[in-house]
Amino acid sequence: MPVGTLLWVVLAAIAVSIAVSFKLKINLGIPALIFAYIIGCFILKMRVKEIVALWPTSTIFQLMTITMFFSFAVFNGTLPKVANKILYASRNNVWALPIILLIVGVILGALGAPPPAVNAILAVICFTIAVPAGMNPFLMAIVVVYGGAAGTFFPWAVQGSIAKGVMSNYVGDLADSYTWKIFLGWLIFTVIYFVIVYILTKGHKLKKPEIEKPEPFNEVQKKNLIVIIILAVLIIIPPLLKIFVPKSKTISFLASALDIQMLAIVGVFVCTVMKLGDEKQAIVKGVPWSTIVMLGGICTLMGVASSAGVTDYIAQWIGSSMPVIAIAPIFTILGAFLSLFSGAINVVFPMLSAMAVPIAEVAGISPVPLFVGILVGASATAISPFSTGGATMIANCPDQSLHEKLFNVCLAAAGIGAVITVAMAFVGLFAL
Nearest alpha-carbon partner for 424 in 152, 139, 71, 187: 187
Which tens digit of pLDDT belongs to each residue from 112-130? 677 767 777 777 777 777 7
Whether residue 412 is predicted with pLDDT greater than 80 in this model: the reply is: yes
Q: pLDDT band at residue 342, thresholds of 50, 70 and 90? A: low
As a whole number of angstroms, the distance between CA 12 and CA 256 comes to 41
Name the band, by pLDDT with cuts 50, 70 and 90, for residue 319. Answer: low
| Per-residue pLDDT at 306 exceeds 80 | no
What average pLDDT score do residues 223-233 get? 88
Tell me the chain's radius of gyration from C-alpha atoms.
22
> Which pLDDT score is estimated for 315?
65
Q: Mean pLDDT over residues 293-318, rounded? A: 77
Q: Rounded to an integer, what distance in angstroms lies between the CA atom of residue 26 and that of residue 328?
A: 32
Distance between CA atoms of residues 252 and 131, nearest Å:
49
* Distance (Å, whole) CA 259 – CA 395: 35
d(CA 415, CA 384): 8
Contacts of 138 (CB under 8 A, 6+ apart): 197, 201, 409, 412, 413
Distances (CA, A) of 159 to 34, 165, 180, 375: 26, 10, 12, 10
Sequence-separated (6 or more) residues with CB below 8 Å from residue 332: 373, 374, 376, 377, 421, 422, 424, 425, 430
Q: For residue 8, what pLDDT band results from cuts at 50, 70 and 90?
A: confident
Distance CA 45, CA 38 (A): 10
What percent of the chain has pLDDT above 70?
92
Residues 111, 11: Cα–Cα separation, whole Å: 37
**pLDDT bucket at 211, cuts 50 / 70 / 90:** confident
Of 394, 393, 383, 398, nearest to 128 by C-alpha is 398
Say whether pLDDT at 256 is over 80: no
Mean predicted confidence (pLDDT) in 229-257: 80
